[in-house]
Amino acid sequence: MKLKLTLTSLLALAVLVGLGVAVEAKPTLSTPTITCGTSTGSSISIHVTAGATGLPAGFTVQWLTLAEYQLNGWGSALLCDASFSGVPSCSQYNLAAGQSIDVQIGDNLFDMCGESSSCASTPLQCGTQYVFRAFGHANSTYNRSAFTPNLTCSTLPCGGGDCTFTQGYWKTHGNPDCNPSGGADLWPQAVIDLGLMLGTNTYTEEDLCSILNTAPAGGNGLVSLAHQLIAAKLNIANGASHDAAIDSAIASADAMIGSKVIPPVGGDFLPSSTTSALTTTLDNYNSGLTGPGHCP
């Protein structure tokens, strides 16, 4: 009887071990697909579509210039990546099977929930080909997906003369508050001397630099709107042409901001759902999709 019990116990243990192995073995996520979206002189939109398993934990996009990829491949020290996590409850990146989303690469402070990047807010180079790939994140149910095939997309050609710069350019070409590396302050002299009015409040160059260096958090569209409004006003002060449509967008942005004090100078808030349309209009002007075009 004792031997029988021992054999039974061993058999039960073997079954449990077998079940444990089966439980621990996780399937692999379906590989997402990526395609080129809209380009500007400093950014490229990537269209990401989930496969049959969806992307419940989000995805990561990696990129290099085509020239750098041809030299050093994906092992390059210049590799950039951006993670779009589907885990936070506020995230929009936990995609269902077949669901798609566009993500902007380059010149982006990632103002939505779940975003981070090794090259955050770094503008892409105008007139340049880039190579992209992506993979789906693992979670408790699935292992991470394989990488997508490489995708090559291009930024718009460089403009010249009467042209605009993005908020990323102005953020890195002002005084030491904007440019710690100590480069020349290329902001318009009138703004250096007098600052800019955003809403009904006037901000010094130091204030404006601190706003540009603040990543939007918690869905605060006030910060995102301010970034693009600052850039639009700096472009116009720098000599860029502007039509009635952009003038109206600037006036509307100022009216929407009103007396609110923008972080980190103040602590006011506007939901991104309220500001997104105006932010996009101003971003299109600064990026060269509308107006005179992006500067080289």
Q: In this structure, is the dihedral angle defined by the CA atoms of residues 101, 126, 123 and 167, taken in order, positive or negative?
A: negative
Both 94 and 56 in one domain: the answer is yes
Note down the domain range covering 192.
167-287
Residue 15 lies in a domain: no
**pLDDT for res 161:** 59
Mean pLDDT check: name the lowest of 20-24, 92-96, 119-123, 126-130.
20-24
- Whether residue 186 is found in the same domain as residue 142: no
Of the residues 99, 126, 154, which one is the last residue of a structural domain? 154
Q: Tell me the range of 10-24, 96-110, 158-172, 197-211 where mean pLDDT is highest.
A: 197-211
Share of the chain above pLDDT 90, in %: 61
Q: Is the predicted pLDDT of residue 4 greater than 50, yes or no?
A: no
- The per-residue pLDDT for 111 is 58
Please indicate, yes or no, whether residues 136 and 211 belong to a single structural domain of this protein: no
Rg (CA), the chain: 24
Number of folded domains that form the chain:
2
Edge-first strand order for the sheet with 58-65 is 115-117, 80-85, 58-65, 129-136, 151-154
Identify the CA nearest to 286 among candidates 213, 235, 225.
235
- On whether residue 251 sits in a domain, the answer given is yes
Q: Mean of the pLDDT values across residues 264-280?
A: 96
Residue 293 domain-assigned (yes or no) = no
213 and 253 inside one domain: yes
55 φ/ψ angles, rounded to the nearest 5 degrees: -130, 70
CA–CA separation, 160 vs 295, rounded Å?
A: 5
CA 78/CA 118 separation, integer angstroms: 10
Q: How many helices (H) and strands (E) does the chain have?
A: 8, 10
Token pair of 288 as six digits = 């060269």
- Asked whether residue 86 is domain-assigned, the answer is yes
Structural domain includes residue 50: yes
Answer yes or no: is pLDDT of 34 > 60: yes
For 183-192, what is each residue's pLDDT tens digit?
Answer: 778 898 889 9
Q: What pLDDT is attached to residue 21?
A: 47
pLDDT at 1: 40
Average pLDDT, integer, range 237-260: 95
- Same domain? 146 vs 181: no
Specify if 12 maps to a domain: no
Domain contains 128: yes
Look at residue 10 in the predicted model and tell me its pLDDT. Answer: 47
* pLDDT surpassing 90 at residue 150: yes
Among all chains, which residue has been given the structure tokens 């885990």? 87
Of 154, 177, 212, the residue at which a domain comes to its end is 154
For residues 131 and 177, membership in a common domain is answered with no
Query: Is the pLDDT assigned to residue 257 strictly greater than 90?
Result: yes
* 137 and 172 within one domain: no
Q: What is the pLDDT of residue 91?
A: 87
> In this structure, what are the phi and psi dihedrals at residue 255, rounded to the nearest 5 degrees?
-65, -40
Q: Please, which residues bridge with residue 255 across strands?
A: none
Chain mean pLDDT for the chain: 87
Give a yes or no: residue 126 inside a domain: yes
145: domain CATH number is: 2.60.40.10
Same domain, 173 and 282: yes
| Helix 244-257 and helix 272-287, axial crossing angle in degrees, nearest 10 | 150
283 in the same domain as 173: yes
Residue 140 sits in the same domain as residue 250: no
Residue where a domain stops, chosen among 122, 154, 186: 154
121 and 229 fall within a common domain: no
* 3-class state of residue 248 by DSSP: helix
Burial of 237 from C-beta contacts in 10 A (0-12 / 13-18 / 19+): middle
Angle at CA of residue 168, ends 152 and 190, nearest 5°: 145
Classified as helix, coil or strand, 5 is helix
259 and 230 assigned to the same domain? yes
Q: How far is CA 145 from the centre of its chain?
A: 22
- Model's pTM, two decimal places? 0.59
Q: CA 88 from chain center: how many Å? A: 16
**Strand pairing report for 44-49 and 80-85:** unpaired
| pLDDT surpasses 70 at 126 | yes
Q: Quick one: pLDDT at residue 189? A: 86
